[in-house]
Amino acid sequence: MTKKSPIIAVLDIVFKAVACGSRRLLLDALFQKDGQTLTELASALSMTRFGVMKHLRVLEAAGLVATLRRGREKFHYLNPVPIQVAYDRWVGKYRVRRARSLFEIKTALEAE
């Protein structure tokens, strides 16, 4: 069995983290208002604090959420870098091929 490259191993964790709809809702909430506390996230999403904590741990492990403690409060921030890496690796390369194909079709039709 071949060993996974480090980037593929990281992407596996990211894809597993965003596979859950509740975690995607948390990411959307942080996109709308970055730097939220656990209490803010739980109330905005109608989830229990325990449920939000569980999902935030997975998102933190995937590098999608970063935290900062200020006194007794812990603020959660969206880290879009892993999503951009996944996009570049899995969407971007296919998008280029499709755009090239569409350009070739356009050129061929215009030549007729």
pLDDT of residue 27: 96
Statement: residue 105 has pLDDT above 70? yes
Residue indicated by tokens 């006194």: 71
Report the CATH fold assignment for 6-111: Arc Repressor Mutant, subunit A (1.10.10)
Confidence of residue 104 (pLDDT cuts 50, 70, 90): confident
Claim: this prediction has a pTM higher than 0.85: no
| H or E segment and range at residue 5 | none
| Domains of the chain by residue range | 6-111
Report pLDDT digits (tens) over 26-81: 999 999 999 999 999 999 888 899 999 999 999 999 999 999 999 999 999 999 99
**Residues 64/17, Cβ–Cβ less than 8 Å:** yes
Give the least confident one: 14-28, 43-57, 96-110: 96-110
Query: What DSSP string describes 38-92?
Result: HHHHHHHHT--HHHHHHHHHHHHHTTSEEEEEETTEEEEEE--HHHHHHIIIIII
